[in-house]
Chain A
Amino acid sequence: MLDVRSPETEALPGAAEMARWTRKDLLDTDTLSRDEIELILDTAEGMHEVRSRPVAKVATLRGVTVVTLFYEQSTRTRASFEVAAKALGADVVNLTASGSSVEKGESLIDTVRTLEAIGADILVMRHGKSGAPYLAARNTSAGVINGGDGTHAHPTQALLDLFTMHRHAGDLAGKRVVIVGDVLHSRVARSNIWTLLASGADVTLCGPATLLPRTLGSGAEGSRCTVTTNFDEAIRDADIVMALRMQKERQEKGLIPSLREYIAGYQVNARRLAMARPGALVMHPGPMNEGIEIAPDVAHGVTSVIEEQVSNGVSVRMAILYLMATARHA
């Protein structure tokens, strides 16, 4: 008898039950389960395919209003959310602190309630004060996405970083990831630690002692990270190297002796990258200070995925907007 069963019997998706998204808000990565993280990454793969089409737009979130509320400057995060929302057919309203009633002294809670009354379904919020999006989320029935709060969290950046790592390095279990720079003040680093640990990666935090968090070494999460001031040691055999932006005001506050010393000790450059695993990925959340935390030839080198991080950010934010807009809250 002619056998017309599938020639290859590889497993196809479909049978397995996928995790469900039930959260109203996305405020940080610390409370995300491994299943929820996988749901976001899987959904982002589908969104990535949509973005590769000649007409990269669907109408799924027609009638959904996304408001970006930015109390701090941003280029890529705000633009990325706007592109993501529009690619899904949602309407987007962009608000910045300057030019809005915030300048007249309107409180955060009043602003959020006003936006809800106008019809905002999802608020994407960036704020200079750690925890501000939590306050907003408690005072509105709209979904709140933290687009970066103070030195606390930047969950969508961590998720796009994880998506980018997965696409290049596959399963991260046992992979060595080094995050180098001003870890202490970095919301990107904090949110990345949680997703990386949930993925089973081996995380090393590296920087000058004055820019490393003190509690990480002993806390529950900290005990699973290696913390070191010796970058030449830390980068050895690393699979992924993530440089953080060096803010110039850190020098003014006396946290580093000079930029020159910082560069000497912690710049990601070709000499150090040669000590990492061959083909080790180079990442940076942007915006970069080329020549300070990262050398230009490395930033634009063959294993740099920095531009891809920006592009992947749109796919990941589409996934998050889709999951939040279609969620049934518990």
Chain B
Amino acid sequence: MTAPYLGPDEIARTVRRLGHEIVENNRGTANLVLIGLLSRGYPLARRLAAAIREFEGVEVPVGSLDIGLYRDDVTRRSAPPPIRPSDIPVSIDGQTVVLVDDVLFTGRSIRAALDALLDFGRPARVRLAVLIDRGHREVPIRPDFVGKNIPTALVQDVRVSLAETDGEDSVHVFGEEAAHA
């Protein structure tokens, strides 16, 4: 196993900074809803909410979103995506929804997430926060809040592990030697 690109402390610092940026951009926490994509966007959304609670003293609602039924490659993939329940605990009508995911790559997951989200209501605006942006977009999607930009080759693989889903906090870049930014 190669050394992680990011370790637990760096991930914690990055999440904290993203929390500050989201609140700054929103000019506070009013009407803010964090919705994490399953599986790893959801624990990140909860951590963002925990960070915001620490420095703002406000509990921002957190939801989870499963995009399996909305993917554009459902019947083309070798393994169909697992289907899990989404949990959107508050009305998103008129709210500022921040979608949260671990890695932004082709943008197709976010395209699917927008479709899924709109089945739950009509937010006033939708923002995108990602821990890692590795480039190679295939659809016109751009993030509003980025933890780390990691320039990658297509043959490489970026793997985010989180304690809640994987037992540890780390970001690994597999494949050809990673360009350490």
Q: Which residues of A contact B (CB under 8 A)?
A: 1-7, 9-15, 18, 20-21, 42-43, 45-50, 53, 55, 58-60, 64, 88, 319, 322-323, 325-328
Residues of A near B163 (CB, < 8 A) are 5-6, 9
A148 and B162 alpha carbons, distance in the complex (Å)? 45
CB<8 Å pairs between A and B, sample of 8 = A2-B54, A4-B15, A5-B50, A6-B43, A14-B38, A14-B165, A53-B120, A55-B119
Name the 9 nearest CB pairs between A and B, nearest first. A14-B39, A46-B83, A49-B85, A326-B80, A4-B51, A14-B165, A60-B69, A58-B69, A12-B164
Known contacts A2-B51, A14-B40, A53-B120, A9 near B69 by CB under 8 Å: no
Q: A18-B82, A49-B85 given. 7 additional CB < 8 A pairs? A: A2-B55, A4-B19, A5-B12, A12-B165, A14-B166, A45-B85, A88-B69
In Å, the complex CA distance between A60 and B81 comes to 11
Residues of B48-66 whose CB lies within 8 A of A: 48, 50-51, 54-55, 66
Would B43 and A328 count as touching, CB distance under 8 A? Answer: no
The answer to the question of B2 belonging to the interface, with a C-beta cut-off of 8 Å to chain A, is: no
Q: Are A58 and B169 in contact (CB under 8 A)?
A: no
A4 proximity list for chain B (CB < 8 A): 12, 15-16, 19, 47-48, 50-51, 54
Inter-subunit contact B50/A45 (CB<8 Å) = no
Interface SS of A by simple majority: loop
Q: Are B164 and A6 in contact (CB under 8 A)?
A: yes
Q: A41: shortest Cβ distance to chain B, in Å?
A: 11
Q: Which residues of A contact B119 (CB under 8 A)?
A: 53, 55, 58
* Range, interface on chain B: 35 or more
Chain A residues whose CB sits within 8 angstroms of the CB of B54 once the complex forms: 2, 4
Residue interface bits B135-178, CB-to-A below 8 A is 1, else 0: 00000000000000000000000000011111101000000000
Q: B residues within 8 A CB of A50?
A: 69
- Residue of B39, B69, B80 near A21 (CB, 8 A) is B80
Contact of A1 with B38 in the complex, beta carbons under 8 Å: no
The residue from B50, B66, B165 contacting A7, defined by CB atoms under 8 A apart: B50
Q: Select which of A2, A12, A64, A325 is within 8 A of B39 by beta carbon.
A: A12
Complex Cα spacing A11 to B163, Å: 8
Contacts of B120 in A (CB 8 A): 53
Cβ-defined contact, A319 with B50, below 8 A: no
Residues B46 and A58 in contact, CB atoms below 8 Å apart: no
Stretch at the interface among B27-35, B71-79, B124-132: B71-79
CB distance from A66 to the nearest CB of B (A): 14
* Beta-carbon contact of B84 and A13 below 8 Å: yes
Contact check, A319 vs B83: say whether CB atoms are below 8 A apart: yes
Indicate whether B68 reaches chain A with its CB closer than 8 angstroms: yes
Is B109 among interface residues, defined by CB-CB distance under 8 A? no
- A14 vs B159: C-alpha distance when bound (angstroms): 13
Q: Is the CB of A15 within 8 A of B167?
A: yes
